[in-house]
Amino acid sequence: MSNRYDTLAAQANNALELLERHLTWLSLVFFTIGIFWADQSPGFAVGVSGAMEAFIDGYGYIAPIAIYVILTPTLIKLFTNASEGTAFALRTMIWFAKARLLACLYAVIITTLVFHLPLYSRTGGFLEAIQVSLESLAWMLVSSVYFYAVYASIITVLLVSRMPKIAVILSKGVDLVEYLGRFIVPIIPLLMLAVGAYVTILPSILNAELSSELDFSKLGEVTMLGVSIDISSSLGMIFIYILGALLTGLVCGVWHAGLLALAKRSMPDFSLRAYFSQYWVKVYPLLWATSSEALATPMNLYMVRKFCPQVRDEVRQFVVGTGSFMNINGTVINVFLMTGLVAAILGIEISMLQLLLSIPIVFLIAYGIPGIPGELLIFGGPMALCMGVSPELTSVFLALYIGLQIGLPDSFRTAANSTDECLSAIILNDRYTEKGPAS
């Protein structure tokens, strides 16, 4: 019986390894099938899009459990290293905060250049925006299930700190999550099929969502990088949506390139070729397809371990586990890009100074983001206040802000967030081995 079980386990392992090796081209094939199938059968496209949304919405309820299950054993592993583990956790949080602040500044500069914004104008609504944002953050601290998961994790660690046997058992939890992460691999081609179908019917979805709030004929032109784009028709709005999504992908890609340079500096034998062929192309399809950092965390843990076995377990698990909702620089970058895009569409004059003054608000609100699709909508109201959007335009501003960030922009920023965690783990592992316990 044991031999039979071992044989089946070996066969399953070989099948997963084979699938991982061919995941890139399989994802592309299924993506193409999704486009063709949706084009031939609109009913299939609508059905698969609805199934995807239901699947992702359902995971929103699982995300707090995932945060607790991943964070608790990781914290136990760190704190069993006494002061060294505590110091590393603190250094990681500080590093995340510095990276977020830098990402905000970077996004403000890029948004200013892309939409040719003036350096300063009026700053109406800023103080009110700060108040609303602080109230929103305070509300999330006391009512968000994601923060509850973090609180429960900390309480659990404190309770078992004097129970070494229980601590050892609980510390194995994240290893199980990593192991289960590899079993997400088989569903990635199916998710890419769904994305292909979604992209095919995206114009009709976007048109339906925005036409109820906007009269396209009253809109004029949007200037991006000095190029004027007519948006007085639904086709023009779809075109600007696609350009905004590609802009998000490009700007997040440049940010990612900076982290690649830091990772190379931290790990001299770091190979770009190996990174993209062994890690990036395997993780990116799942992230792009689901727009959920939380959903991808188990697989991301597994893939980072496989690509960088030299990164210490406690470092990888803490950085990737907490990074899914703490290290979301692609999201904050997208906040500013979407603000500039929507302001340009509505002809609202904003300035670089206003964007700079809104950084503290974006910085704080980002701590309450759960790492699920559509999370940019939380920033919409505060950003409208920061930009001094008039009350009569606020509802339209929010409709555009929320509508234009779903789908492709969401996919690009999510994929940037989670792949950043791999590089962050490499960078912070170098600091851990220097300042923490000997490896």
Per-residue model confidence as pLDDT tens digits over 321-359: 888 777 889 999 999 999 999 898 888 888 888 888 888
Residue 33 placed within a domain: yes
Using the predicted structure, report yes or no on whether residue 176 has a pLDDT greater than 80. no
Residue 336 placed within a domain: yes
C-alpha to C-alpha distance for 6 and 89, rounded to whole angstroms: 39
Report pLDDT for 398.
78
Residue 285 placed within a domain: no
Number of structural domains (the chain) is 1
- pLDDT tens for residues 86-106? 778 788 889 999 999 999 999
Other beta carbons within 10 Å of 314: 27
Instruction: With both helix axes pointing from N to C terminus, report the angle between 173-181 and 313-326 in degrees, rounded to the nearest 10.
Output: 70
Q: Work out the mean pLDDT of the chain and round it to a whole number.
A: 75
Q: How confident is the model at residue 438 (pLDDT cuts 50, 70, 90)?
A: very low
- CA-nearest of 19, 41, 47, 45 to 187 is 19
Residue 56 lies in domain: 2-214+327-435
Q: In what helix (H) or strand (E) does residue 174 lie, and over which residues does it extend? A: helix 173-181
Please indicate whether residue 397 or residue 18 has the higher confidence score (pLDDT): 397
Residues 6+ apart with CB under 8 A from 236: 216, 219, 229, 230
Please indicate whether residue 392 or residue 439 has the higher confidence score (pLDDT): 392
Mean per-residue pLDDT, 117-130: 65
Residues 6+ apart with CB under 8 A from 363: 100, 101, 104, 332
Please indicate whether residue 297 or residue 236 has the higher confidence score (pLDDT): 297
Using the predicted structure, report yes or no on whether residue 404 has a pLDDT greater than 80. no
Using the predicted structure, report yes or no on whether residue 214 has a pLDDT greater than 60. no
Give the DSSP letter of residue 222.
E
- pLDDT tens for residues 408-417? 787 788 888 8
Q: How confident is the model at residue 439 (pLDDT cuts 50, 70, 90)?
A: very low
Q: How confident is the model at residue 146 (pLDDT cuts 50, 70, 90)?
A: low
Report pLDDT for 105.
97
C-alpha to C-alpha distance for 138 and 88, rounded to whole angstroms: 27
- pLDDT tens for residues 190-211? 766 776 776 666 556 655 655 5
Residue 401 placed within a domain: yes
- The pLDDT > 90 percentage for the chain reads 14
Q: Which pairs from 213-220 meet CB under 8 Å and 24+ separation? A: 213/395, 213/396, 213/399, 213/400, 213/403, 214/396, 214/399, 214/400, 219/345, 219/346, 220/347
C-alpha to C-alpha distance for 300 and 212, rounded to whole angstroms: 39
Residue 363 placed within a domain: yes
Mean per-residue pLDDT, 285-299: 73
27-31, 35-39, 274-278, 316-320 — which is least confidently predicted? 27-31
Using the predicted structure, report yes or no on whether residue 124 has a pLDDT greater than 60. no
DSSP for 122-161? Answer: --TTHHHHHHHHHHHHHHHHHH-HHHHHHHHHHHHHHHHT
Q: Where are the alpha helices (DSSP H) in 212-266?
A: 234-266
C-alpha to C-alpha distance for 50 and 39, rounded to whole angstroms: 16
Residue 82 placed within a domain: yes
Report pLDDT for 72.
76
Residues 6+ apart with CB under 8 A from 193: 30, 31, 33, 34, 37, 48
Report pLDDT for 411.
78
Residue 125 placed within a domain: yes
Q: Report residue 265 as tokens.
A: 């500096």
- The pLDDT > 70 percentage for the chain reads 63
The angle subtended at Cα 90 by Cα 432 and Cα 63, nearest 5°, is 100
Contact 328, 417 (CB under 8 A): yes
| Range with top average pLDDT, 41-45, 315-319, 376-380, 403-407 | 315-319
C-alpha to C-alpha distance for 283 and 288, rounded to whole angstroms: 9
Using the predicted structure, report yes or no on whether residue 426 has a pLDDT greater than 90. yes
C-alpha to C-alpha distance for 63 and 292, rounded to whole angstroms: 10
Using the predicted structure, report yes or no on whether residue 255 has a pLDDT greater than 50. yes
Other beta carbons within 10 Å of 388: 19
What's the CATH code of the domain at 167? Answer: 1.10.3860.10
Q: Report residue 25 as tokens.
A: 């081209």
C-alpha to C-alpha distance for 190 and 244, rounded to whole angstroms: 26
Region of 347 on the Ramachandran plot (φ > 0 left; ψ -120 to 50 alpha; else beta): left
Residue 265 placed within a domain: no
Identify the bridge partners of residue 228 per DSSP, sorted by sequence position: 223
Mean per-residue pLDDT, 252-274: 92
Report pLDDT for 250.
94
Other beta carbons within 10 Å of 184: 19
Q: How confident is the model at residue 420 (pLDDT cuts 50, 70, 90)?
A: very high
